[in-house]
Structure 1
Amino acid sequence: PLFVMNVYDRVVPNYATETLWVLSSGVCIVFLFDLVMKSLRAYFIDVAGKRSDILLSSNTFARVMDIRMQERPARVGSFANNLQEFDTFREFFTSTTLVALIDLPFILLFLLLIYGIGGSVVLVPVVIIPLTILISLTLQKPLEKVINETFAESSKKHAMLIESLTALDAIKGSRAEGVMQRRWEQFNARLARLALRSRLLSTGTMNVVQFFTQLSTVAVVIMGVYAIMEGELSVGGLIACTILTGRCLAPMGQVAAIFTRYHHSVAAFKSINRMMNLPVERPAGRKFLHRPRLNGDIQLNNLTFCYPGTKIPALRNVNLRIAAGEKVAVIGKTGSGKSTLQRLLMNFYQPTEGSILVSGTDINQLDPAELRGSISYMPQDVMLLDGTVRENIALSAPLSTDSAVMRAAAIAGIDDYINQHPQGYDLQVGERGSNLSGGQKQAVTIARALITEAPVVLMDEPTTAMDSTTEMLFQQRFRPYIENRTLILITHKSSMLALVDRLIVLNDGMVVADGPKQDVLNALAGRN
């Protein structure tokens, strides 16, 4: 603006071409310096943003992995969508936002320049700027409401998508594709309506700012013409004031966009903050007892447990003692509390009442990782991760040697299939083990548990997907492995009871029988 003013006021009337070239050279140097400074500013902001992004993302995922199971949100898809909203929160602090905020203080500088050149002309931007801010703020409340509704609806839609993909076999088997399609379309319709309202409000804000920016140009020209007629302003000064007014109001458009991004980021932040405030297994400042290897002696004292949101106990007043090296099976009808018992032993959930002692120490005093490192654990729900057979077997012991992987696979009975396959242990199992049969997935999960060679073996229905021949082979290979270990076996299959010496019978969350295997079986047979 100052360059243009001097050209019109000094160069053109006097035909001073030498002055023109001097001024032009100076302006080019200033532009070059401005380019370098903007590039450096963007670079340093992006580098700082990248570092903070990596740090925040890492801390967020670590927090998710440390959340207590009983505090985990019930809808996994919605929870995953909330984690994805971390990107929305992160993008608010990108270079675009920071540059806009950095430019705001320069508005005062531009106003001082306009006042120095045009005097009263400065009243135009002084009036327009607070007016645009006031109108933008007025539209923010309804915009915030729409964005929050959109966020909640988007989480539900994502939860339904994850649920549908996970249960695709069941949906097709039940011929429920039409039902799921209607639900999906209903979600899309609601989101489309919310998106339309959001766009109308955000574009309305931008249009108002643009309208006042254009109006300010006209107002500056009108006031400038009267100032020229009174001899208070030159033509070059008017042009400079017009340009400076545009520069002065330019950040207002960015501020309107920042308001919209701000509401999105606040909604994302609230969701992430709720997740970060969930109770974790290793709270800050908590010190655990260091017992890296436990001997396998387990004791349950007056154990009662209710799942979150329920008042009916899944386990009631359970008192048990399992000595180190003992082989025990826990049996009972469906819903009797067998799987709940193994979740409590793994410290996935905390007892509502009572305590669990391992090697004489309450498990709440032990680091969860060290406790689980002393238990070879196989859950009832088989879950393989996308990767190779080797990676899935060695998941709990990533530094295991090939011989250890092969030994665990041999005990589990998966070695024959793997050895005959061209890809061997590099065979890709697919997502959730989709490339393997049910029995093969179960065998890989068994191998994953056994590779840790822990003093306690805890298995929940380990052979439900195996045929009788494969199960018999597994028992033959498994028996020597557990010779000096504690075995806690949860099963419905009577054939698996050959591995144990003691039976514990659960019914409605209570221990109704406990003793030597044959005595308990005879008692149950007599009762029947």
Structure 2
Amino acid sequence: MVRRACGHPDAAARNHNHCPMKPVSLTELQDLLGKLRISFNPGALAQAHAHVLHTAAEARPLYQLRKLLADAGLKDIQVTILPWRRLDPRRLPALIWEQEHWWLAERQANGQLLLSRAGTTARECPEDALHDAHVIWLRGQPQSQAGDTSQPQGNPALRLVLHELLRERGWIARVVVATLMVNLLSIPTSIFAMQVYDRVIPTMAYATLATLSVGMLLMIGLDWLLKTLRAHILDSVASGADQRLSQQVYEHLLRLQLDQQPRSLGSLAAQVGALDSVRQFFSSTIIFGLVDLPFALLFIALIGVIGGHIGWVYAALLPVAVLLGLYTRLRLRRLTHQQMLRSNERQGLLVDTIRGAETIRASNAGWRFAQDWQTLSQSIAGYSIQQKALAHFSGTTTGSLSTLAYVAAIVVGVWQVEAGNLTMGGMIACSILGGRVIAPIAQGVQYLVHWQQVSESLQMVNRLLTLTPERRVEQTLLMPDRLPDALAVEQLRFAFPGSPLQLLNIPKLHVRSGERVLLLGPVGGGKSTLLKVLAGLYRPSEGRVRLGDADLWEIDPQIVSAQVGYLPQNVQLFKGTLRSNLALSGAVSDSTMLETVSALGLDQIAAGSPQGMDMEISEGGEGLSGGQRQLVGMARVLMARPRVWLLDEPTASLDGDAEARVWQQLKAQLQPEDILIVSTHRPMTAIGLATRVIVLQQGEISRDGRPDQVIPGLMARAAGAAHAAPAPHATTVRLEQVQVTTARQALPAFPAQTPTIRPDTAKAQE
């Protein structure tokens, strides 16, 4: 397989001077700065461009561009070069080297990639055609935390919702005005009734009735139009806010440290989805409530003006309704919290059941899961019944208050009519206005009930938003253009949050460029955890991980992903096709994909399906065996062509032929300066590739040296431990392990408790 020719991005990154890349033209640079909304002085930029071309014409483009920007006064702009296949498409626009020219690459509204440069017609370009291209990417300094809302303080979820709803505040004025008009238009209805009873009926003035009826028709039409426009505005605002909120929460989830994520998938999924109810509450219901409640006071005042003492009847309902709402909210607080907890547990149980259906069926454990489901469902149903009882109590009591207010108003009205202070029409008008008082009060009680549910949802989202992201928002990240020549750890300790168990304790480890390291050790020794820490998936509890000259966690994740390739022990596939799962990280040229697929034997999978490379893959990779999934994961790493290779049991699920193909391709792909660290329980198949062996025992390095120094001693000690075991059953197991690994031409499996691995343990047992 041809690797890293002169035009290849990695070759460019390793030695720009040997690649005939032209300097970046002034026009493309100005266009890029304009697209990125970076302010610059055109005259100073043009002068700096001419000066750099004159004084540093032979320098690499990355150096030229950095010097150019510095001379033009743009010292806060960071520049780096990346392979196109490792670029996050959301980071566009950028400059791309294609067909011996620099092009401005940007994403169009239809999702297509557009390449443009001065003097030529812009053209659309498929992403897979740019697999072997490289990109110059510019980034400004991060803004101050003060203006950022992705990590708000106090109540993050509430502030995030309010920020999105108030992004464009013009809609608030329109909705408030429409609601004011709707409430004001309800007043003519009561006046209409009063005029009909007091003036039309006594005199049978049909002309007056006709005039009043026409006016009411106009009022009804205007009321309908205002309510329709108000609903349309709120729906549009809510839809836009919902899209932005869900996107921000989802991207926050993607940026979380993996060791910080909740262990319950059900709880995690519920936290992501809980923001919807919060958005609905603030985008529609509360707006009407805030505007309608002041009008309740206005209507009480109007009732007082028209009906005198009748106004006191409705005024007396306000404190009663408030007390009712507070009582209901206090009762609902515990019930809502407990119900959400049980709902999250049941959702997690459902996820586990779906993912482990085969194991449950094979183990005849369905009865236990069904029993757990029944227990959770009964608990949820119990809390739901209590919630509904409280809601029913609240609604029934509010309705009774409304009826009581109407009856009391009629009774008081009769006295006012008898005293000559109120007419019949006035009493009817008061009863109509009274309905406008009762409705906001009843809604206010429901708002308090609904707010308790929203409050619990906010707490769920807050627990997600307050989790630590992989990089701080205000952090100034490094973007080194020199590829790393070493991978090292210093005083490394790691434990999961809230766990007292320390999984790693490595004072010092240094892997230099060109080294091929076999990582050995017993099950649970910390090999997979160490690889995840080195890959930047887990953050050390203490100590540092250095990639080249910089701390791994101070480098932009875009740079880390371009330089570090990681193969997990359990490869995850996603719903889609075989092609989409192979090209998971970005665009991959068809030639590179077909070459890799053929070399690993994956073409046989495609050949066995009528759809070929478009064969469907369901969630979790169902339909492919464990070995096939592992080959897909290996293909991803091979096509990424990283500088640092971190492989966790790359051949654990493969047969002999497939294993041989994997090691053969790995040898062909590895460059002399690349770093390889591979964890395996079958080291003899990779011993010819290794230059160094590290043995990890209980999270600590117990042996580190050349293969000829470490391997013989491990074989002798493992064999001695197998033959010297006192328990017959233990001897049988270890002899079987020796026989199996001998048949595979591999090392004996590491005993779970090998007394001779650590010197201090050996002395204690002696």
From 681, 687, 693, the equivalent of 1:497 is 687
Q: What amino acid maps onto 1:377 in structure 2?
A: Y
From 370, 373, 387, the equivalent of 1:198 is 387
How many residues align? The count is 527
Preserved CA contact (<8 Å) 2:303 2:430? yes
- Structure 2 unaligned regions, length at least 5: 1-189, 719-766
1:472 alignment counterpart: 660
- Structure 1 unaligned regions, length at least 5: none
Preserved CA contact (<8 Å) 1:132 1:208? no
1:353 alignment counterpart: 542
| 2:546 aligned with 1:337 | no
Q: What amino acid maps onto 1:360 in structure 2?
A: D
Distance 2:526 2:670 in 1: 25
Equivalent residue runs for 1:28-39 within 5 Å: 28-39=217-228
**Deviation for aligned residue 1:268:** 0.5
1:512 alignment counterpart: 702
Equivalent residue runs for 1:22-421 within 5 Å: 22-291=211-480, 294-396=483-585, 398-421=586-609
| 2:646 aligned with 1:458 | yes
**Deviation for aligned residue 1:183:** 0.6
**Shift in CA distance, 112/43, structure 1 to aligned 2, threshold 3 Å:** same
2:632 alignment counterpart: 444
**Shift in CA distance, 43/101, structure 1 to aligned 2, threshold 3 Å:** same
Q: What amino acid maps onto 1:337 in structure 2?
A: G
**Deviation for aligned residue 1:477:** 2.6
Distance 2:608 2:380 in 1: 51
Distance 1:116 1:379 in 2: 77
Q: What amino acid maps onto 1:203 in structure 2?
A: H
Q: What amino acid maps onto 1:235 in structure 2?
A: M
Preserved CA contact (<8 Å) 1:376 1:449? yes
| Greater Cα shift, 506-515 or 300-309 | 300-309
Distance 1:264 1:353 in 2: 40
Bigger relative contact order (CA 8 A; separation at least 6)? 1
Classify the secondary structure of the residue corresponding to 1:93. helix
Distance 2:546 2:669 in 1: 24
Preserved CA contact (<8 Å) 1:89 1:269? yes
Q: What amino acid maps onto 2:665 in structure 1?
A: R
| Greater Cα shift, 328-337 or 346-355 | 346-355
Distance 2:515 2:496 in 1: 29
**Deviation for aligned residue 1:296:** 4.7
Distance 1:456 1:411 in 2: 21
Classify the secondary structure of the residue corresponding to 1:454. coil
What do the CA deviations read for 1:35-54 (whole angstroms, capped 9, x no partner)?
11111111112212122211
Classify the secondary structure of the residue corresponding to 1:300. strand
Preserved CA contact (<8 Å) 1:413 1:474? no
Name the % identity. 31
**Deviation for aligned residue 1:306:** 2.5
2:715 alignment counterpart: 525
Distance 1:3 1:512 in 2: 93
Distance 2:493 2:446 in 1: 54
What do the CA deviations read for 1:79-113 (whole angstroms, capped 9, x no partner)?
21222222222221242342233211211221122
Distance 1:305 1:113 in 2: 70
| Greater Cα shift, 311-320 or 354-363 | 311-320
Preserved CA contact (<8 Å) 1:318 1:511? no
1:431 alignment counterpart: 619
**Shift in CA distance, 293/430, structure 1 to aligned 2, threshold 3 Å:** farther
Aligned residues: CA RMSD: 1.7
What do the CA deviations read for 1:319-359 (whole angstroms, capped 9, x no partner)?
22222122111111111111111011012222233322211
1:8 alignment counterpart: 197
**Deviation for aligned residue 1:292:** 5.3
Distance 1:95 1:352 in 2: 44
Distance 1:165 1:248 in 2: 52
Classify the secondary structure of the residue corresponding to 2:316. helix
What do the CA deviations read for 1:426-468 (whole angstroms, capped 9, x no partner)?
1111110001111111111111122211111111011111111
Preserved CA contact (<8 Å) 1:296 1:456? no
Larger helix share, 1 or 2: 1
**Deviation for aligned residue 1:304:** 2.7
Q: Please give the TM-score of this superposition, normalised by the length of structure 1.
A: 0.96
**Shift in CA distance, 292/408, structure 1 to aligned 2, threshold 3 Å:** farther
**Deviation for aligned residue 1:415:** 2.3
Distance 1:34 1:296 in 2: 73
**Deviation for aligned residue 1:420:** 4.7
Q: Please give the TM-score of this superposition, normalised by the length of structure 2.
A: 0.67
Distance 1:297 1:409 in 2: 30
Distance 2:607 2:688 in 1: 29
